[in-house]
C-alpha cells in the first residue's frame, strides 16, 4: 500500500492530500529514508513523520483494506512515539495560555510594561556575562 494511503487509512491525516503535502515537504520517512507519496509500505516498516509539532514514530503491523474506524487503528499500527513528545506538546499549549488568553485584544499598558521589563532583564543578564 502507498504511504499516503496508509497514513490516511490509519487516521493520522484527514485527507490523502494532506499526507501528500507532508511527503513533499520531507516530513515523512520510512525506515530512515525520506518517502515520496507513492512509496510502498509493508508490515514491520517503521514510519516517522512530523505532525502538530510532534515527531510521530509508528510501526506497520498490517495493511488495511480501506480507511478503518478509530477503534480499529491499533490492529494496523504500533505507536512508538515517546511519551515525552506528548508532554512537550502539553507544555507548549500551557505556555501559550499562561500569559494571555487568546482573543483578549491588545496588551494593556501594564502588560506592555511587564513585557518591556522582562526584555530589559534578559538584556542586562547578557551584558553581565
Question: What is the mean pLDDT of each successive set of 10 residues along the chain, which is 129 residues long?
Answer: 90 90 90 90 91 87 89 89 84 71 75 83 65
What is the rounded distance in angstroms from the CA atom of residue 113 to the CA atom of residue 110? 5
pLDDT of residue 57: 92
Residue reference for cell 513523520: 49
pTM above 0.85, yes or no: no
- Asked if residue 7 lies in contact with residue 79, where contact means CB atoms within 8 angstroms, the answer is no
- Report the pLDDT value the prediction gives residue 127, as an integer from 0 to 100: 64
CATH 3.10.290.10 range(s) for the chain read 3-81
Tell me which DSSP letter residue 36 carries.
-
Q: DSSP assignment, residue 31?
A: T
Q: Which CATH class, in words, describes the domain spanning 3-81?
A: alpha beta
Output the pLDDT for position 17. 93
Amino acid at each position: 500500500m502507498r504511504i499516503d494511503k496508509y497514513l490516511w487509512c490509519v487516521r493520522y491525516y484527514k485527507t490523502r492530500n494532506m499526507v501528500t503535502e507532508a511527503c513533499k515537504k520531507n516530513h515523512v520517512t520510512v525506515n530512515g529514508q525520506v518517502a515520496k507519496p507513492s512509496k510502498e509500505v509493508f508490515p514491520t516498516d517503521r514510519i516517522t513523520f512530523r505532525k502538530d509539532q510532534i515527531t510521530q514514530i509508528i510501526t506497520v503491523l498490517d495493511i488495511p483494506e480501506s480507511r478503518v474506524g478509530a477503534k480499529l487503528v491499533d490492529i494496523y499500527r504500533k505507536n512508538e512515539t515517546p511519551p515525552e513528545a506528548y508532554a512537550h506538546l502539553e507544555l507548549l499549549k500551557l505556555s501559550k495560555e499562561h500569559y494571555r488568553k487568546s482573543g483578549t485584544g491588545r496588551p494593556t499598558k501594564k502588560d506592555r510594561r511587564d513585557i518591556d521589563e522582562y526584555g530589559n532583564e534578559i538584556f542586562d543578564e547578557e551584558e553581565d556575562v
